[in-house]
Chains A and B, each alone.
Chain A
Amino acid sequence: MAVLTHRSSASAPPHIAARLWRALEHGFDALVGAGGNPLKQLGALGFLLLWLLVGSGAVLYAVLDTSASGAYQSIEALSREQWRWGSLLRGLHRYAADAMVLVVLAHVVREWMLGRFRSFRAASWLTGVPLLLLLFVSAIGGFWLNWDRLGQFSATATAEWLDALPGLASPLARNFLSGTQLNDRLFSLFVFVHLGVPLMLVFGLWFHVQRLSRAQVFPTRALATGTGLTLLILAAIRPVRSQGPADLATVPATLNYDWLLLFIHPLTAATSAAMVWGLLVFFMALLLALPWLGVWRARAQPVALRAATGDAVEAGATLPATSHTHWRPAALTQFVAEVDPDHCSGCRRCVEDCPYAAITMVPHPSGRVGMELAQVRSDLCASCGICVGSCPSSTPFRSAEVLHTGIDMPQWPIDALRRQMQSGLVALPGPRRYVVFGCAEGADLGQLSADEVLALPLVCTGLLPPSFIEYALRAGADGVLVATCREGGCAFRLGERWTRERLQGLREPRLRASVSANGWSLVAADRGDEAVLAAALQALRSRTAESFEYPESTA
C-alpha cells in the first residue's frame, strides 16, 4: 500500500481527552444514530432550550405581578388555579433552565476535550466564556421573581456573597433584614436581572456564533421534538411548586433545592464568600487563558508542499504574517487559503461552503463590471481546504501541466494532489488498483494494508473536488473510496456534509451522474472505525471485482 504521509502530518494522534469524548459520542451513535446524537448538537440544543425559556418566560411575565407583595400570589394562581397549562408552563420554564445549564456545560466540556479552543476557534471560545456567567445570573435571578422561601434564601445569599466585594457603600444584604418589607424598587431590579441579563445573553450569543457560517441554532427536528416533549412530561409528572411566601423574619427550614442552578449558595456556606469569589475568578481566568495555555504541545504545523514540484518545504518559511494573526502564538499560526485572480471566476461557491465565514467577495482587480473575486480573511481561515473542494477550477481534468485553481491551500496545493494520485496509481503493482481519500481526523488510512491501495489522507475530505473520483477512475483506478468523519463529527463543521452532498449530486460541484456508482463508495468512519473502513473497501473490491469479471454488467 502507498500512503502519502506528508498529507497526514496534519493529523497527530488525538489527545486522550479527545479519544475519551469520541468514545462517548460513538456510544451515543450506536444508541440513537449519528444524525440524532445529542452530543454532536449541544450548542444547538442550548439554543433550543433558550428559545423555550424565552417563549415560556414571556407568558409567565405577562401574568406576573411585578410587586414584592403580589409576585408570589400571581405565580401561585398560575400554578394552581389555572388549568394545567399554567403548571406545565412553569415546569417547562424551570426544567428548561436546568437542562440548559447541563447542556451548555457539556458543550464547554466537549469543545475542551476535543481541543477546539485555540487559533481560529479562540474567538468563539473567548466570547462563549462570559456567557456562562450571564447564564447563571439569569437563572438565579429567576428564583427571586417568585419571591417564595427559595427565592428569599437565594436573594439573601446572593446579596451576602456580593457584599464580600470591596467598595459597596452599604451592605446589599441589609435589603433583606427582617422587620422590613422588600422594596418594590428592589423588586424591579430583580425583574431587570431576569429580563435584562438574558437579553445580554442573546446579544452575546450573536457574537459567539459570528465567526460561523450556517451556525446551527436549532437542533434536528426529531431532537427538538424529543427534548420539548421530555420537558413537558417532566413538568406534568413533577410540577414545580412554590415553597411558601417569603418571610424575612425567619430562615427557611428546609428547601427542595435546585442544585443545578443554585449550587453556589451551599458552596459559599460550606466555605466562604471569599473562597467562592476566588474559585470563580480562577476558573474564569483559566477558561479565558486556555487558548494560550499549552501551545507548545499544540499540533505541529503540517509540512508544506511546493505547488509545482510536490517537494516539502518548511511550514514557517511560507507562513503569511498578517495583521490579523500576529497575536497567535507561533505554534498556532497556520496557512491561509490563497486566491488566484487569474483562475477565480467569482462564482461564490467557496463563500457558500466556507464553514467559518472567512471568504467574502470583492470587485475583481481586472475592473470588469460585474466581475468579483474571492477574498480570504486570514484570521478566520481554518486552513481546512473546503473552499478548494468547492472551486469549479479545481477539476483535475484541466490540461495544464500545473493545475492552478481559483482558491488553493499553499501547504496542500491541488496540483500536488493530482500529481500524487497520478504517480501513486502508476506505482501500484496491480492488476487491481484502488484509491482511498480519507479525512486525516477520521479513521487511520494506514490500517488499510494492501498493495493495491493508494491512500491519500486529506486534512478534510471537503477539500476533495468530486471530479477527482472520476479522474482517478479514468486514470486507472478500479475503485475509489472516500472516507469522511461520521455525521456531525467533522472537525471543520461542514466538511463531511458538503462531501456527502457533492457526491450525492445535491450540491455544487457535483460528481457527474455519468460516473458509475459501482466504481466509488462513500463511508463515514471516525478514528477508531478502521474496521468499518476496511469493510467498506472490501465491499468496494467485491463490487468492482464483479464488474471486472462481467464488465458488461456495469454498462
Chain B
Amino acid sequence: MATNESSDNKNQLITLMLQTIENFVPLETRPAPEGMAIYLYELKKEILRQNPKFKFINSYNDYIFRILTLLDYLDVSKEYDTESHGKTVHMICRETRDIKRIDPLWKINPTSVIEFINSTLSASARK
C-alpha cells in the first residue's frame, strides 16, 4: 500500500512537472525562466527524494527512442542494399544487445510502444 501511495505521489509530481512545461505558452501567462527554474527545481527535488534513482529518460526509455529513430533510418525507398541497410540493422542489434546486458529478461512491450506513438499522434490530431 505504501509503495502504491508513493508511486501515486510520484506520478502526480511528474504530471505536475510535465503540465508546467505544457503551460509555458501562451507567453503572457508564463513566469520568468528564473521563477520557473526554481519551481522545477523544487518539484524535481521532491521526486528524487522519493526515488533517488529516478530519471525521466532511463536506459530503457532511451533505448526505445533510439530504436524508433533507427527504424526510421531504414531506407526502403530504394532497392534492397546489403551495405547501407546492414549498418542500421547492425546498430539496432548493438543497442538491443546492450540493453539486454543490463537486464536479460527485459523485453520491449510493442503494445505499449504503439499506444504511446498513437497517443501522441491522436493528441495532435485532436487539435
A, B: real partners: no
Residues of A within 8 A of B (CB): none
